[in-house]
Structure 1
């Protein structure tokens, strides 16, 4: 964990301008391939799902097609469930957990749910293992009208025709050690604010919606994931990442007011997962499996309790 007084770009107390954003962008280096890791996996799923290109990001010289996969046997009488991953591109199990769910478990729900899965909302950030897009904008604070993030705007356009029909939305995320060593210091510098070190929880947790709390739903997901990996305990203040723990492994944010992806529909059941991949008690395989278990638990609860 870093305790640095200020980030290496910008002037303390002054928000970034175009020069600082350009300096930050120049440091971002491609470290993995969206085409090889994600698009190739999606191509392998084409025989089983309808694949929709719902947008294209033009970040010259790079261009990224955005893909969602839908149930091939779509039936109007069935509930609609939305699964999103990779809104923060560096949160690896969000992307690969969504793809693993499609590969291994989605067929279990083929006769009961219409699925829409967008496994990698932010491919530029996926390749550079970063939280932001090239404009130093956080897509997961940008799900709002006139969004400043192309990634968020594209997903909102995809979801718009189904916005009132979606019964469940699960957004797959991670909390990592680099949140404290890089991303939160960068956020403070970008906004001209002091950086205040925080504490990274060791384990899986969920974020419920302050304005639409579903405690039984969240508890069911926690119970399912606890069979795969450990659940994050509250800190000495009874909090996780600065928010009060409302039940074991669950905190709350105001999804729509904060422009979070999990608030992009009018779904009754919504949650954001947070896997901790840097734990010595978790492997990458467990992290992906935890995301899959969470998706299945949300679907099972929705089907058992109605829309």
Structure 2
């Protein structure tokens, strides 16, 4: 058996050991192979794991195959690279997520380590430590908002239980904080974290963003709420540039990067919907649709005069007076 086929077989064996097992269609999707190949994979799986069982899925009527966990347990020991990636994820979340999420990831890490057979754990942990030293761990330099564990926990609890949340919030235009009752629909992570929620006391209120670091107090209420029909957090996030949502509508945005900045700009995904065009002379045109002109300004300032706003006119007027030529480098 080739190395590639062995990896594929182990991948499918791991899926087959789940509670739901695996179907031929799912094997085809995971391996990106045809149906006939999926049948050969099942035959190879049965040959190497006699414990392989099959059953008919009541919902779909299709046959599924399942392996007892103990059959492949020795093969599922995590690698040092996987554990190092988990540690890096913990450190990155510390810089951008809530305390409850960081604690959950640390707890998962500890459970994984506890499940590794003792005769292998010492070497894996030593290799993980060496990798982390080589990688320099994960740091995100620069300023970042400081989170508060009680508020993070309240938001997490409300999101999981679709519970109403009473917050004391001070928007950037507010002289003092005021109380609001909101229905939390999600959380956007980034340089700042934003609670995506509906202000239930605002007549006809739509989805709003509340800066988590501007929430002074948060209490989970016993009353639940019904989520907005059809609301999808990923779709909602794609309407915005960054995490901050302005009530300025969605714009057709076009930026032209000068030839000397084009290669740098190609290394960025400015927006999931972006379309990139290479122009004669080497310049790069980036187009997308989004709201949030203010955050676009913050980002464009870093590029100085290496970028030109083509549209919308509102963004052009906000940026043009601040296009500097004396920056020593670009993002």
TM-score, normalising length from structure 2? Answer: 0.23
Higher RCO structure (Cα 8 Å, ≥6 apart) = 1
Computing the radius of gyration from Cα coordinates, the structure with the larger value is 2
Instruction: Looking at secondary structure, tell me which structure has more helix per residue.
Output: 2
TM-score, normalising length from structure 1? Answer: 0.24
